[in-house]
Structure 1
Amino acid sequence: MAALKDISNLDDIKQMVDTFYDSVRKDDLLGPIFNDKLQGRWPEHLQKMYGFWQTILFDVRAYSGSPFPPHKQLPVDKTHFDRWVMLFNTSIDAQFSGILTEEAKMRAANMAYMFNHKIDYFRGLENK
Structure 2
Amino acid sequence: MTRPTDHRRDIAGRPDVDRLVRSFYERALVDPMLAAAFETLATVGLDEHLPVVGDFWEQILFRTTRYRGDFALVHEALNRQHGLAGEKLARWLDLWCETVDTEFAGPDAERAKTKAIAMAGALGRTWTPAT
Please classify the TM superposition score into its range, dividing by the shorter chain length. 0.7 to 0.9
Alignment check: 8 A CA contact 1:17 1:46 kept: yes
Instruction: Could you tell me which runs of 5 or more consecutive residues in structure 2 were left unpaired when the two chains were aligned.
Output: none
Q: 2:9 aligns with which of 5, 21, 30?
A: 5
What is the alpha-carbon distance in structure 2 between the residues aligned to residue 70 and residue 50 of structure 1? 15
Secondary structure of 2:20 counterpart = helix
Residue 22 (1) aligns with residue 26 (2): yes
Matched, 1:89 2:97: yes
* Paired letter, 2:96: F
- 8 Å CA contact 2:25–2:38 kept in 1: the answer is no
Alpha-carbon displacement from aligned partner over 1:100-121 (angstroms, at most 9, x marks no partner): 0000000011111111212239
Question: 1:16, 1:37 → 2: CA distance?
Answer: 17
Post-superposition Cα deviations, 1:76-113, rounded to whole Å, max 9, x if no partner, equal 22101110111111111011101000000000111111
Structure-2 separation of matches of 1:50 and 1:24: 16
Cα 1:40–1:66 shift into 2, 3 Å:
closer
Do residues 53 (structure 1) and 51 (structure 2) align? no
Which amino acid counterpart does residue 30 of structure 1 have in structure 2?
A: L
How does the TM-score come out when normalised to structure 2? 0.85
Contact 1:81–1:113 (Cα < 8 Å) also in 2: no
Tell me the TM-score normalised to structure 1 length. 0.87
Partner of 1:126: none
1:24 is aligned with what amino acid?
A
Partner of residue 44, structure 1: 48
Q: CA deviation digits over 1:32-71, x for unaligned, max 9?
A: 1221355231112211111001101011111022111122
> How much identity, in percent, do the aligned residues show?
26
